[in-house]
Structure 1
Amino acid sequence: MKRAFSPLLKPLLIAAIAFSAASGYAQDKASAAPAAPAAPAKVDPAKGGVLYVEGDAARGLPACVSCHGANGNSTIAVNPKLSAQSQSYLYKQLVNFTTDARNQPVMSLYAKMLTDADKHNVAAWLATQPAKPGAAKNRDSIDLGKKIYRGGIAEKNVPACASCHGATGGGIPALYPRLAGQHQDYTVAQLGLFKGHGRKNSPEMATIAARMSDDEMKAVADYVAGLK
């Protein structure tokens, strides 16, 4: 014998079935949707400063200060000054050292030991450190260096360095690095690497360096060292 439903209960039963189906669909849709990406960790320059000065013995990471000097003002001519450099540029270089874009035995080893947060933090701290000025040393080449930096070498299709790195060598953050006050030896070495394709993270610089002579590189590197 069939049980008869009250006319009042029938609409309620239909609504309950519809609600249950809708809830199940919503749950299935929610479970199928991709999870929202985790928010990036906040950059902490203070932690970067501690890592720069002290290193991390537990991970075998030496203090950056031992090679790059107090506050990023290296006193070793072959090691770059890092103070006041663009945060985004420094971070990019640390990432590049973990790839074939920049293969330098010491830096590649340590960059691979840094976490992504470490890279961001150290770069952020160095960007806040005041730079100490350098000085041009070669009076015989200062005019040539100035000419190249400000006007390029037209006959070789070498653009003015200032067009990307700024009139005073301050660079353009996120695009081009600060050059002012950089060690002559380091700048010459990097131009040489670009020219010989030992440094692969800027096709633009590789093209420019390939058109320059050794004397032109030395002249512009010396001029850059004296910019403030």
Structure 2
Amino acid sequence: MKSLIALIFAAVLAPAFAAEGTAAAKPDLTKGQAIATQVCVACHAVDGNRGSPAYPILQGQHPEYLSKQLHEFKSGKRKNAIMQGFAAQLSDEDMRNVSAFYASKQAKPGFATNKDTVALGESIYRGGIAAKAVPACAGCHSPTGAGIPSQYPRLGGQHGAYTEAQLVAFRSGARGNNPQMMAIASKMSDAEMKAVADYIAGLR
């Protein structure tokens, strides 16, 4: 009898628990906005838009990518004293919510600033550097810079100075949370990084 009752309860409650789990997994944009407004706004501006070139534009970025970076800041896999301090205060749910909030915003277009290097930047982005075995950026980040959700971040429209700084950090090992990018950046010169980063800023 007890077994029968247990089976009945299991059959009745299982869908409810499943629904509850599904609901819990759904990001709360209102809570995400609260975190963005109270914690992130000083560096990333309102809604993660075009603030200081020293900090990344977060609008329209894939939520999976943002959440992954926050987890890696928290764990120390990605090094940044400021971000590590902020991420340490966030729960998994907080990270999911704030990532979804930024992803829900429409990214504003950017632009390249150096007409003399646009051709080189485009060549690297679309065709790579064959002589150095550097693959085309478009292969992972898409021709428009939109990236591939959950795998590769959106780059189009990102601050050129920020993208360049990340390439330099990958090359030096200061940013060590992506072996693939570290290997690619290790083969690039300063001029090549600057050119492709500026070109990426104008992608849309």
TM range (shorter): 0.7 to 0.9
Counterparts of 1:202-213 in structure 2, within 5 Å, are 202-213=178-189
Q: How far apart, in 1, do the equivalents of 2:176 and 2:96 lie?
A: 22
Gaps of 5+ in 1: 1-18, 27-35, 56-62
Gaps of 5+ in 2: 7-16
Partner residue, 2:61:
85
Cα deviation, 1:30-63, whole Å, max 9, x if unaligned, reads: xxxxxx999373321221012211x2xxxxxxx3
How many correspondences in the alignment?
A: 189
**Preserved contact between residue 164 and residue 171 of structure 1 (Cα < 8 Å):** yes
User: SS at 1:97's partner residue?
Assistant: helix
User: SS at 1:98's partner residue?
Assistant: helix
Displacement after TM superposition at 1:199 (Å): 1.1
Partner residue, 2:31:
47
Question: Kindly, what percent of the aligned residue pairs are identical?
Answer: 49
Partner residue, 2:175:
199
Cα deviation, 1:59-85, whole Å, max 9, x if unaligned, reads: xxxx31121012111320110000000
Counterparts of 1:135-214 in structure 2, within 5 Å, are 135-214=111-190
For the pair shown, which has the larger CA radius of gyration, 1 or 2?
1
RMSD across aligned positions (CA): 1.8
Which of these residues, 68, 75, 99, is aligned with residue 44 of structure 2?
A: 68
Cα deviation, 1:73-127, whole Å, max 9, x if unaligned, reads: 1320110000000010000000010123211011010001111110000001110
Q: How far apart, in 1, do the equivalents of 2:47 and 2:156 lie?
A: 16
**Preserved contact between residue 67 and residue 74 of structure 1 (Cα < 8 Å):** no
Counterparts of 1:103-118 in structure 2, within 5 Å, are 103-118=79-94
More helix by share: 2
**Preserved contact between residue 76 and residue 84 of structure 2 (Cα < 8 Å):** no
Q: How far apart, in 2, do the equivalents of 1:115 and 1:187 lie?
A: 28
Displacement after TM superposition at 1:210 (Å): 0.2
Q: How far apart, in 2, do the equivalents of 1:117 and 1:205 lie?
A: 28
